[in-house]
Amino acid sequence: MHYRLFGQHTGLRVSELVLGTANFGTRWGYGANLDAARDIVDRYAYAGGNFLDCADVYQFGESEEFLGELLSARRNEFVIATKYTQAAAPNAGVLATGNSRLAMRLSVEASLKRLKTDRIDLYWVHFSDGITPMDEIMRGLDDLVRSGKVLYVGLSDFPAWRAARASTIAELRGWARIAGLQFEHSLVERTSEHELMPAGNALGMGMVAWSPLGGGLLSGKYRQGETGRLEALGGAVFQQENTGQRTAIVDAVLAVAAEVGVSPSAVAVAWVLHKGSLPIIGPRTSKQLTAYLDASELTLAPHHVELLNSVSALSPIFPHTMIDTTASREAAAGGQYKRVVTPERSVG
């Protein structure tokens, strides 16, 4: 497995496949026990993986507890990322949840105890609560970094404009930078490409993609009668095959997988890697892990990328429907657009 720098503002070298641990534990009524989780972590590490993604709410804290147990003798071999916003306990209450500094402080202390560690390598704000100002969030995160309890910080499932504002506030005030963005991204959910991915690219953030299989849809298993997330966890983050385009996408993934001789899961994950994000793989069993790991050894041929891109293509949204047209580009370049060398990265 290859390692990549996490964004443009850190020297953190992380594996290109991120091991998601939402399936570690059984308090949600669906998941892996400790022995199964140990086998997954061991095999992931043997393949070169070092980036673990967790959250306090996963399995109501049991996922973090499992990691604390499994990593006690090898803590410094892994980058541990976890999140706060929902709290670990069901019905935790209004003060322990959300994005406030109080919820942040309560959550980080509890996570450190469950993880049995003195630091969290990457601390994500799990999702926007819609009410806490960005300066409060950023000041709280900066305090945690200065205290040494957190090394890097990131935003998960935030609108692009709020991520950009957070980055600007931190830069102007000398606070800890936003090191990364996390969002859903797959062949059946590409809307993060409208604003989030260009923002992350322009601001030099590491980008992490969750649900690269669309909740398992792109594995093709639901066509074979399996259930998985279709029934488990109340169908959370499951993308259904409910449009003609999605049927065409699954068909294309299966066709590429058959041609290349790998699993459909490997093709779907390899495509996310090709687009520039680090995909979170979330196996519940060792068998599922094997299918995921093949993606790190798979380089999609240009014609396969073109097929997958075209069959899953997004319809543009405003203002891109205007500014990305040839007429607008030429007008903004005095009729010389074809002669202008454009930057590789998005501009900030």
How do the domains of the chain map onto residue ranges? 3-310, 316-348
Choose which CATH entry (3.20.20.100, 1.10.150.120, 3.40.50.720, 3.40.50.300) describes domain 3-310: 3.20.20.100
The answer to whether the beta carbons of residues 155 and 166 sit under 8 Å apart is yes
Share of the chain above pLDDT 90, in %: 89
DSSP 32-98: B-HHHHHHHHHHHHHTT--EEE--TTGGGGHHHHHHHHHTTT-GGGSEEEEEESS-SSTT--TTTSS
Cβ distance 207 to 277 under 8 Å? yes
Tell me how far apart the alpha carbons of residues 247 and 226 are, in angstroms, rounded to a whole number.
17
Q: Which of these is catalytic: 44, 58, 84, 292?
A: 58
Question: What is the model's pTM?
Answer: 0.94
Tens digit of pLDDT for each residue in 267-311?
999 999 999 999 999 999 999 999 899 999 999 999 999 999 999
Tokens 């069993």 found at: 285
Taking residues 188-192, what's their average pLDDT? 97
- 203-247 residue pLDDT tens: 999 999 999 999 999 999 888 766 655 555 555 677 888 899 999
Would you state the pLDDT for residue 233?
Answer: 57
Q: Which of 46, 42, 49, 43 is nearest to 18 (CA)?
A: 49
292 is catalytic: no
